[in-house]
C-alpha cells in the first residue's frame, strides 16, 4: 500500500491531475496500482494525470528514454474514455512540438490525409494557385512567400445530426513576415500551427468517442515568411467574402488566413463554428499562458463552456466582442485594416476582425490560445500544451452525447 500526503491541493485546481502524474513517475516501477474508493472526480483526475505523465517527445533524441511504467488499474469505462482523451492531447502535442523544418504545410496536409484514412474521413486539400481559382485569396497571400505552398485542408466525418465546423490557424512558422519579429518573439513560432493541431486532436477525439455530430474541419496551413514573393505592408487584398483588407502589419497574419476559412465555414448550413488560434500576444498579456480567451455571440454557450472548463480543469475565460473598438480597424483606402491602430485590447480587436467574416456570431466561438507550457509541471512537460482542447470536448460531449 502507498500512503500519499499532499498539501495545498486548493492552490491550483489542477493539483489532483498533477498528483496523478507525480505518482506515475515516482512510485516504484513495473507494478499495477489501484486507487482506493475516492470521489469520482478525484479518481478521474488522478488517472488522467497518471496517463498524461507518459507523454514524452523523443523523436529527435538518439538515445530514447525507455522508462518502464507502472499501470494504474481503473474500471473499463473510465480507462477507455481516458485513452481517447490522452491520445488526442498527445497527438496535438506532437504536432506542436515538431519543429518547422519537419512540419511544413505539406507535412500537415499529409498528416491530415493519414488521419482521414485511419478513421474513414473525407479529406480535400486546395494547394497553391488553386487557392486563387477557388477564391481563398488571403490564405494564398499570406503563404505565397514560402516554397512550401500554402493550402487549405478540409476534413469531413461523423454522421450525427448536429453540424459542427472546426477551424484552426496553422501558421507552420510565423517570422512576422516583413514586419519581422524580434528574435525572442520568433523563437517559439513553430507553435503557431497550434490551432490546427488542436483541430486535428479534437477531430481524432471525436472519431474515438461517438457523439451525435457530423463535423467539417478547415485548416489553413501556411508559412509566414520573408521572400521576393511575400506579401507586404500596405498591400490591399480582396478577401473571400469580398471585403478589401489593407495589410497594416504582416505579423497579424493569423486573422487573414482565418477570415477566408471562416467565410467558407459560414457558407454551409452549420449549427456551430469553433475556431482555435494562437492569435495574439495581447491575449497572453491579459490572461497568461494557462487560460485561453474565448469570444462568442452566444451567452448561453459562454456560460456553459466557462463552467465546464473549470470543472474539467482546462479553464477558459470569456472576453467581450466590444463593438466600439471596431473603430480601431478603420482603413483609409480599404474596408478595414488587419491590425489595429492602437495596441490596446489586441485580443478583442483581433476577434472583432474575425467576426466580420462569420455569418452568425451566435453560432460561433473563437479561442485565442497559447498552445505552450514554458515550464515543466508533472503531466505537462515544457513545450507543447493543448489549452482549450479538453474544455471544448467537454462542452461538445455535454451538448451532443448520443
Residues near Zn ion (CB under 5 A) are 171, 174, 192, 251, 253-254
379 interface partner picked from ligand BES, Zn ion, none, CB below 5 to 8 A per type? none
Contact (CB, 8 A) for 371 and 380: no
Residue 389 CB, shortest distance to Zn ion, in Å, is: 19
Residue with smaller CB distance to ligand BES, 82 or 279: 279
373: helix, strand or coil: strand
Q: Which residue, among 290, 291, 163, 146, has the nearest Cα to 217 in the 3D structure?
A: 163
Marked catalytic residue, from 18, 255, 363, 390:
255
Which listed residue (45, 154, 192, 356) binds ligand BES by CB under 6 A? 192
Residue 50 CB, shortest distance to ligand BES, in Å, is: 30
Backbone dihedral angles phi then psi of residue 52, each to the nearest 5 degrees: -65, -25
Residue with smaller CB distance to ligand BES, 203 or 369: 369
Q: What does 80-124 look like in DSSP terms, one character per residue?
A: HHHHHHHHHHHHHHHHHHS-TTT--HHHHHHHHHHHHHHHT-EEE
Q: Which helix (H) or strand (E) holds 296?
A: strand 293-296
Residue with smaller CB distance to ligand BES, 85 or 192: 192
Q: Which helix (H) or strand (E) holds 244?
A: strand 244-246
Residue with smaller CB distance to Zn ion, 17 or 142: 142
- Grid cell listed for 316: 477558459
Residue 174 CB, shortest distance to Zn ion, in Å, is: 4
Told to check if 278 binds ligand BES by CB under 6 A, we report yes
Which span sits near ligand BES by CB under 6 A: 97-105, 197-205, 250-258, 294-302?
250-258
The one-character DSSP state at 21 is H
Residue nearest to ligand BES (CB): 281
Contact (CB, 8 A) for 222 and 170: yes
**Contacts (Cβ under 8 Å, ≥6 apart) of 199:** 166, 167, 168, 217, 219, 276
Told to check if 281 binds ligand BES by CB under 6 A, we report yes
Which listed residue (85, 154, 246, 253) binds ligand BES by CB under 6 A? 253
Residue 41 CB, shortest distance to ligand BES, in Å, is: 31
Contact (CB, 8 A) for 152 and 220: yes
Contact (CB, 8 A) for 125 and 215: no
Residue with smaller CB distance to Zn ion, 174 or 246: 174
Which span sits near ligand BES by CB under 6 A: 117-125, 262-270, 275-283, 293-301?
275-283
Residue 22 CB, shortest distance to ligand BES, in Å, is: 28
Told to check if 249 binds ligand BES by CB under 6 A, we report yes
* Cα 174 → chain centroid: 16
Which listed residue (153, 282, 351, 391) binds ligand BES by CB under 6 A? 282
Contact (CB, 8 A) for 72 and 173: no
**Contacts (Cβ under 8 Å, ≥6 apart) of 80:** none
282 interface partner picked from ligand BES, Zn ion, none, CB below 5 to 8 A per type? ligand BES
Query: Distances in Å between the alpha carbon of 295 and those of 190, 208, 240, 301, 349?
Result: 25, 28, 22, 10, 11
Which listed residue (98, 175, 266, 339) binds ligand BES by CB under 6 A? 339
Which residues in 19-78 contact ligand BES (CB under 6 A)? none
Residue with smaller CB distance to ligand BES, 128 or 281: 281
Residue 255: active-site member: yes
- Grid cell listed for 111: 498528416
Told to check if 390 binds ligand BES by CB under 6 A, we report no
Told to check if 280 binds ligand BES by CB under 6 A, we report yes
Marked catalytic residue, from 156, 181, 318, 398:
181
C-alpha–C-alpha distance, residues 223 and 169, integer Å:
11
**How many residues sit in the footprint of ligand BES (CB under 6 A)?**
16
Q: Which residue, among 214, 112, 97, has the nearest Cα to 162 in the 3D structure?
A: 214
Residue 143 CB, shortest distance to Zn ion, in Å, is: 12
Residue 284: active-site member: no
Q: Which helix (H) or strand (E) holds 352?
A: helix 346-355
C-alpha–C-alpha distance, residues 187 and 174, integer Å:
10
152: helix, strand or coil: strand
Told to check if 254 binds ligand BES by CB under 6 A, we report yes
Provide the binding-site residues for ligand BES, judged by CB under 6 A. 174, 192, 249, 251-254, 278-282, 284, 339, 346, 370
Catalytic residue positions?
181, 255
Amino acid at each position: 500500500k502507498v500512503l500519499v500526503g499532499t498539501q495545498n491541493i486548493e492552490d491550483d485546481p489542477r493539483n489532483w491531475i498533477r498528483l496523478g502524474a507525480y505518482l506515475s513517475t515516482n512510485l516504484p516501477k513495473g507494478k499495477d496500482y489501484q486507487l482506493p474508493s475516492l470521489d469520482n472526480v478525484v479518481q478521474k483526475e488522478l488517472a488522467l494525470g497518471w496517463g498524461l505523465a507518459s507523454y514524452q517527445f523523443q523523436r529527435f533524441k538518439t538515445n530514447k528514454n525507455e522508462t518502464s511504467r507502472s499501470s494504474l488499474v481503473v474500471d473499463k469505462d473510465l480507462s477507455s474514455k481516458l485513452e481517447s482523451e490522452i491520445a488526442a492531447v498527445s497527438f496535438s502535442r506532437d504536432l506542436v512540438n515538431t519543429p518547422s523544418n519537419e512540419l511544413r504545410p505539406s507535412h500537415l496536409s499529409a498528416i491530415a490525409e493519414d488521419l482521414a484514412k485511419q478513421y474513414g474521413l473525407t479529406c480535400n486539400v486546395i494547394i497553391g494557385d488553386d487557392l486563387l481559382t477557388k477564391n481563398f485569396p488571403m490564405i494564398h497571400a499570406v503563404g505565397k512567400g514560402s516554397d512550401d505552398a500554402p493550402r487549405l485542408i478540409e476534413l469531413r466525418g461523423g454522421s450525427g445530426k448536429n453540424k459542427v465546423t472546426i477551424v484552426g490557424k496553422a501558421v507552420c512558422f510565423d517570422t512576422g513576415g516583413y514586419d519581422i519579429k524580434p528574435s525572442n518573439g520568433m523563437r517559439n513560432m513553430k507553435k503557431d500551427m497550434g490551432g490546427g493541431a488542436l483541430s486535428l486532436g479534437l477531430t481524432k477525439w471525436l472519431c474515438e468517442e461517438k457523439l451525435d455530430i457530423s463535423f467539417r474541419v478547415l485548416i489553413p496551413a501556411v508559412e509566414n515568411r520573408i521572400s521576393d514573393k511575400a506579401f507586404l505592408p500596405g498591400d490591399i487584398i480582396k478577401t473571400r467574402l469580398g471585403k478589401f483588407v489593407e495589410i497594416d502589419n504582416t505579423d497579424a497574419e493569423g486573422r487573414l488566413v482565418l477570415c477566408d476559412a471562416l467565410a467558407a465555414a459560414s457558407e454551409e448550413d452549420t449549427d456551430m463554428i469553433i475556431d482555435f488560434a494562437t492569435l495574439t500576444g495581447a491575449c497572453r498579456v491579459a490572461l497568461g499562458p494557462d487560460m485561453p480567451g474565448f469570444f462568442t455571440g452566444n451567452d448561453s454557450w459562454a456560460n456553459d463552456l466557462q463552467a465546464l472548463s473549470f470543472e474539467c480543469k482546462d479553464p477558459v475565460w470569456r472576453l467581450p466582442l466590444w463593438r466600439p473598438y471596431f473603430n480601431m480597424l478603420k482603413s483609409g483606402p480599404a474596408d478595414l485594416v488587419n491590425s489595429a491602430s492602437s495596441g490596446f485590447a489586441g485580443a478583442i480587436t483581433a476577434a472583432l476582425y474575425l467576426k466580420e467574416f462569420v455569418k452568425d456570431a451566435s453560432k460561433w466561438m473563437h479561442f485565442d490560445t497559447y498552445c505552450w507550457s514554458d515550464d515543466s509541471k508533472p503531466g505537462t512537460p515544457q513545450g507543447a500544451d493543448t489549452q482549450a482542447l479538453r474544455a471544448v470536448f467537454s462542452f461538445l460531449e455535454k451538448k451532443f452525447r448520443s
